[in-house]
Amino acid sequence: MPVQLICCSHSPLMTTDIEESEQGVQAQFFRELDHCAAALHKFNPDLVVVFGPDHFNGLFYDMMPAFCIGTAAESTKDWHLQPGPLRVPRDLALQCIRYLQGRDFDVALSHAMKVDHGVTIPLYKLTGALARYDVLPIVINCAADPRPSFRRVRNFGAAIGDFLANKDMRITVVGSGGLSHDPPTPRLDMSSPSVVQRLIVRHTPTQEELDAREARVVTAARDLVAGKGPCLPPDEQWDREFLMRFVDGQLESFDAMSDVDIDRVAGFGAHEVRTWVAAASAVQRIGQARPELRYYHLVPEWITGMGIVVGQA
């Protein structure tokens, strides 16, 4: 079956005009992302499957699933991204959920999923729109401790791949997240009571609240470039070790990854590499799309080690 893999880092700061710390690095990333977009359009998929995270914009601690599939989805308004509905094939999404239940994955479902920049940035950058292609949105909990283990994520991705392998479709699988980064995302056990309340109770922020939150992230990015806290700098050694094993297809080697070590070395946002592991595991069950590293660079003004890995069969 024709299958395409695109795993790419995202940073909401890439939607801003924040100053470059090294000339040309941002432009190089966007050029490579444009090449991926052209390859996707040429491939002309019948379905785009997006494994993405949420950043307490669509899912909250009032009911935090490890995995959630949307039968319908709409974007949030974070980072001034254009909101709107995704084109989700409802019957296919329900078939996928039922298939997963038969494989002992009691995945959550949403008939009104809200997806934030973790899903919308790759859709806009790779397809040009939220609803240009049929999209199956799959959110993996990467921000809310406790998270699903890497082994569980890998097996979950494989089960998705087994489901898709029986479909007569051209499929693009996207993993959106990572690499090392430590954004100022609030932690439940390190926050004030008012912030804890926001993490637990489902809340649609006003544009003023979004702007204030996003301004804090921009300030944190500029502080990071200047060598100040609170964010850990992205870690090139950690990124390259992950990418080497990832491109070699050593997905089982990530089973032993410790969340404590990720927090300590690679930062709170690096948990998002779960989306890459799930996406690659799915593709391994569909076709022989050997991954290839197309871009890697530290982009401190985006608080992130940015990478792009692609494959096609």
For residue 283, which amino acid is it?
A: V
Which tokens in the block code for residue 41? 């359009």
From 10, 35, 41, 181, the catalytic residue:
181
Gap between the Cα atoms of 313 and 101, Å rounded: 28
DSSP string, the chain: --EEEEEE---GGGGS-PPPSSTTHHHHHHHHHHHHHHHHHHH--SEEEEEE---SSS--TTS--SEEEESSEEE--GGGPPP-B-B--HHHHHHHHHHHHHTT---EEESSEEE-HHHHHHHHHHHSSSSSSBEEEEEE--SSSSPPPHHHHHHHHHHHHHHHHTS-S-EEEEEE--SSB------GGGS-HHHHHHHHS-----HHHHHHHHHHHHHHHHHHHTT-SSSPPP-HHHHHHHHHHHHTT-GGGGGG--HHHIIIII-GGGGGHHHHHHHHHHHHTT-----EEEEEEEEGGGTEEEEEEEEE-
Name which of 196, 214, 205, 48 is nearest 136 in CA terms: 48
117 catalytically annotated: yes
35 catalytically annotated: no
Q: Residue 174 in contact with residue 308, Cβ under 8 Å?
A: no
From 10, 55, 117, 271, the catalytic residue:
117
Task: Report the catalytic residues.
Answer: 117, 181
